[in-house]
Chain A
Amino acid sequence: MKKLMLGNEAVARGIYEAGATVVSSYPGTPSTEVTEFIAKLYDEIYCEWACNEKVATEVAIGASFGGARSMTAMKHVGLNVAADPLYTASYTGVNGGFVAVVADDPGLHSSQNEQDTRNHGKAAKIPVIEPSDSEECKEFARMAFDFSEQFDTPVILRLTTRVAHSQSLVEEGERLDYKLKDVEKNPDKYVMMPAMAKKRHVIVEERCEKIAEYGYDCPFNKMEINDTKIGVITCGISYQYAKEALPDASFLKLGITYPISEKLVKEFASKVDKIYVIEELDSFIEDYCKSIGVDVIGKEIFTRLGEYNPQMIKKAILGIDGPESLTVDEQIPVRPPVMCPGCPHRGMYYILKKLKLKVCGDIGCYTLGALAPLSSLDYCVCMGAGIGMAHGMEKARGAEFTEKLVAVIGDSTFIHSGITGLIDVVYNKGVSTVIILDNSITGMTGHQQNPTTGYTIRGEETRNVDLVKLANAVGIERVVVADPFDLENFEKVVREETAAKEPSVIISQRPCALLKTVNYGAPCIIDEDKCKNCKMCMGLGCPAISVVDGKITIDASQCNGCTLCMNVCKFGAIRKVGDK
């Protein structure tokens, strides 16, 4: 019987069916569940959270060289971190099949940019395959390993958010009993020094041509000839949108979007009157078509921004508007994401705001500290960037500037790419203050274990990184552990460390409020007799506290009883339900 599966779950299933045995990834929306499903469902596969995408990719490459089928999964920006090993693994090729699952995020549901992974594929000369629903996710993931071994190449399986996070029906198959390939000594293939790499580059270029030829008649690409007045070349989720919008049109659905089969595109062009290329983000297929002299319409009528949908395709090609809809005649307040009630970051940001510090940050739940009312975080570029940026600001504006400057970084992010930044500060005589937010878990991506938590992806106990010792070991002498809900002490610590004339680390330690082990008991309540309506508690930006009919009120269904608001109330007007 067919099963309803998330795209990411189906990818995991395909990897399982292909007989893969090693998986190493770093979490990142919308790719995270691929690896989580493998950890949860398939004990036959060794599975780990790596420190970052580069390490994960190297682990998967090593497993491939070791003769196993291996996989790494990451979000689009993770591929930037992993690019170094991946670009040269393109030269070495593989032993056991090796697949990198990379999930793009058009529309930026949970990302800092909208980069298009197909460009990486082209630049690295690695084939890119793109499924358009869960069934294809499973099949493409399964077939990707044969493909990888047939052409001796890493393969990028590109997803986008709507493919990764949509559920559709999947037919499950059997797992291949894959035998480890022999490990042979072959420095010409596996040692990329100039003399060897020069020769491998020749092979890589030939391989690209061969894969393009293979694309003419392969299970990934599909031509559907219907009414020939309109032809559509498309890929991934755009195929589904276009099929709904233009059910009668002819389609060339590219499952391999790099390298593209010239013969296939030209054959399709010969069968239809007019061709539209419908692809989210960059004009990747379109540029290729134009480069081989096939006349297509693409970004002249479609955007490079965000996600597509059937209505916009219908409007752009057929000029047909969507159905008439109900209207709302007033401005509706937006509802951006917020830090949860009980979030440990809230106490920290409250102090950073109070002290009017500049805050260099990066990627995680704590990026939400940029939003009102805390409005504390000033800079966010990429994972781990906060520390380097703070150091750069110091070098630009002088050491005195660091008295009003901190870097904030999550525990998992610090392991991912903060450690090198910290060493840079020490080595180059910086005096920055770095706050590591140790909340005992990787938060934003939905609670993954990491090297600081003491548990593996499968919940087994393991050694954990001691952040204090690590900071000491790289040369930080001032390391302070502080509870961000003890506001008085936290403020004192931040004041002292930012004033210090040497680099320092503050470990802001309190577990994520969503962890099952966290239980603050009864919710808080406002004592109306004592409340002076001063709104100090509102400054915390806790979603459970708001003004209802002119009075400060705590929503008991949202409050988790963390008592941070009690700490900021000067009139003792907040207490726990049940307390006097």
Chain B
Amino acid sequence: MTTNLRSVTDVDRLIHEPARLMIMALLSGVAEVDFLYLLRETGLTKGNLSAHLAKLEQANYIRIEKVFRGKIPNTRISLTPSGREAFEDYRRQLKEIATRI
């Protein structure tokens, strides 16, 4: 396999999945969001979104924090420094691949 083709398979597959890519992209420009915002923006089901967030949290790409807004529980999500770096690396890789095609 040539170096050019190998670089395509080297992309971070955790981020490359469309739903998770959407989540990472939405988080990349902000400090944090809550679960409701991601649910509405991604259009995923509650269970589907929860599963993707769990995978990203397991990889230490995002941080999930349960807080209270008054008496109402609220789930806050933000990118970790390693998650931000992984996302930037992923974007850089994609751009490099796109210029070579």
- Pair from one complex: no
| A residues lining the B interface (CB < 8 Å) | none
